[in-house]
Amino acid sequence: MTVEHTSRLPGFYKRLLAERAAIVAQWGDLSPAEQSALLGIGGLSAAQADHMIENAVGVYALPLGIATNFLINDQDILIPMVIEEPSVVAAVSNAARLFRAGGGFTTSSDEPIMIGQLQVLDLDDVYVAAGKVMAEKANLLAEINRIGGSIVKSGGGAKDIEVRPMPKTSVGGMLIVHLLYDTRDAMGANAINTAVEHIAPRITEITGGRVVLRILSNLTDRRKARASGMIPAAELATEAMSGDEVVRAVVEAGVFAEVDPYRAATHNKGIMNGVDAVIIATGNDWRAVEAGAHAYAARNGQYSSLTRWWQDADGNLRGEIEMPLAVGIVGGATRVHPTAQLALKIMRIQSARQLAEIVVSVGLAQNFAAMRALATEGIQRGHMEMHARQIAVAAGSPPEWVARVVQQMIDEKNIRPERARAIINELQNHT
Ligand code: MEV
């Protein structure tokens, strides 16, 4: 089987799992050992798990799928996603096909700057203390960078210090010192926590206060990623609605999430379906990314949407996303987990920023897919597919035939156990 280097793989979903794995293996130039890891054989071992957390007793597996059709900054990318929820990978692949018709995604990202926080209490005057810290800024930065390490060697490290005096809190005046630290290709939690702990005694000395908390902030709003894309209206026409009507309905759905926190929570959850799946596939900390995303969504005082959707002058649908994304490609679980390494290899990731930009593209596509379904046929049609799959499996379909049995039942609008059994019999007679 030869694979062209395009992520546009029509009918990928109809193939057998083994065939899909072979296509991805060829695409990613995977060794036999790597192919086994993809299939969960020789993936994360119990021994590796034992080194990752305390009290380990085993490993827990989840499905690994591949999102097709992504074109990001003119590059074809196959995207590994780890998720237990059906329909997510299919929906995002379908959405990516439509964005592809509009030229694919365009992305950008900030330098990988993380924020470390120090909490200073028992100060006579928080403003005076803030001034003293700022006067020592250059020395503090130099002192932190003297710790060294691979991040500093590769051009990262402490870059700046900011102060946030809070004269009146319920526990008295509080000075919050922010250390801005460039973590390069690492997520950087360890580096930044080491840095703030290291510098805490100096902050005590400078301010005369009491330093208590020393920890990174998960609101990583200096480390954001952005993606935007267009879908030609003509691509969106359905049997019941014109392309223009679908564009408007999607825009209206987007505005609903902008103005209403109840809708925004669900809307952003749909974005995170895609974001988290790639974050997990690459061994990154999805709780950190979740925390950052939702805090950022509430930055203006009202929880709102992470995306914006509008109709452009040509009548086409345009969307954009911006969110904090603290992800790494070195260190942590990414380094230890063999399948996470594979995920990076399949995507040909060279930097943490590149990964962040892919992740937000997936988030934007996932958001569009949900809104289109909701604004047109409703979400239940997809759920019928899930229902059909469960019926096919319960009717005794071998795993490699499930997709075919499901499709036929849906085409015939006849989703019942006896029909599933009849289709399975027909397939058996054919082979
Ligand atoms: C379900 O996992 C996600 C959706 O609820 C997202 C949304 O409503 O936009 C479909």
pLDDT in tens, 93-142: 999 999 999 999 999 999 999 999 999 999 999 999 999 999 999 999 99
Whose alpha carbon is nearest atom 2 of ligand 1?
270
| DSSP element (H, E) containing 123 | none
**Atom number, ligand 1, closest to the C-alpha of residue 371:** 9
Q: What residues pair up with 103 in beta bridges, in sequence order?
A: none
- Report the CATH number of the 12-108+227-377 domain: 3.90.770.10
Instruction: Report pTM.
Output: 0.91
Pocket of ligand 1 (CB under 6 A): 85, 266-267, 269-270, 273, 370-371, 374, 379
Mean pLDDT of the chain: 95
What number does the ligand 1 atom closest to the CA of 85 have? 2
CATH topology of domain 382-430: Helicase, Ruva Protein; domain 3 (1.10.8)
Residue 30, pLDDT score: 95
Residue 269 CA, ligand 1 centroid: distance in Å: 6
Say what angle helices 17-28 and 338-347 make with each other, to 10 degrees.
Answer: 70
Exposed (0-12), middle (13-18) or buried (19+): which is 336, by Cβ within 10 Å?
middle
Looking from the CA of residue 273, the nearest atom of ligand 1 is: 2
Q: How far is the CA of 317 from the centre of ligand 1 (A)?
A: 19
Q: What is the pLDDT of residue 335?
A: 82
pLDDT class for 4, splitting at 50, 70, 90? low
The partner residues of 157 in beta bridges, in order of sequence, read 182
Ligand 1: distance of its center to the CA of 375 in Å? Answer: 12
Q: What does the pLDDT read at residue 386?
A: 78
User: Which one of 87, 88, 269, 364 would you pick to mutate in the ligand 1 pocket, going by the greatest count of ligand atoms within 8 A of its CB?
Assistant: 269
Contacts of residue 15, Cβ cutoff 8 Å, sequence gap at least 6: 23
Residue 367 alpha carbon, nearest atom of ligand 1 = 9
Task: Please give the C-alpha separations between residue 228 and each of 199, 259, 269, 319, in angstroms, as whole numbers.
Answer: 40, 21, 19, 6
Atom of ligand 1 nearest to the CA of 88: 2
Residue 278: both structure tokens together: 């790639």
Q: Using CA positions, which residue lies closest to atom 4 of ligand 1?
A: 270
DSSP per residue, 297-347: HTTTSS---SEEEEE-TTS-EEEEEEEE----SBSHHHHH-HHHHHHHHHH
- 303 closest CA partner among 244, 337, 270, 263: 263
Range in 7-16, 303-312, 328-337 the model is least confident about: 328-337
Query: What is the domain partition of the chain in residue ranges?
Result: 12-108+227-377, 113-216, 382-430
**In the predicted model, what is the mean pLDDT of residues 199-206?**
98
158 neighbors 181 (Cβ within 8 angstroms): yes
Taking the domain 113-216, which CATH number applies? 3.30.70.420
Q: Residues 61-90: what's their mean pLDDT? A: 96
In the predicted model, is pLDDT for residue 334 greater than 90?
no
Confirm if 347 and 341 have CB atoms less than 8 A apart. no
Nearest residue (CA) to ligand 1, atom 9: 267
Q: How confident is the model at residue 3 (pLDDT cuts 50, 70, 90)?
A: low
**pLDDT given for residue 154 in this prediction:** 93
The CB density around residue 141, as the number of other CB atoms within 10 Å, is 20
Q: Which protein residue's CA is at the shortest distance from atom 6 of ligand 1?
A: 270
Whether the predicted pLDDT of 267 surpasses 90: yes
> Catalytic residue positions?
85, 269, 285, 383
State residue 380's pLDDT score.
75
Q: Which among 273, 376, 383, 386 is the best mutation to test ligand 1's pocket, defined by most ligand atoms within 8 Å of the CB?
A: 273
pLDDT digits (tens, 9 = 90+) for 227-253: 999 999 999 999 899 999 999 999 999
Q: Mean per-residue pLDDT for 369-398?
A: 88
Q: Which of 258, 263, 374 to mutate to test the pocket of ligand 1 (most atoms within 8 A of CB)?
A: 374
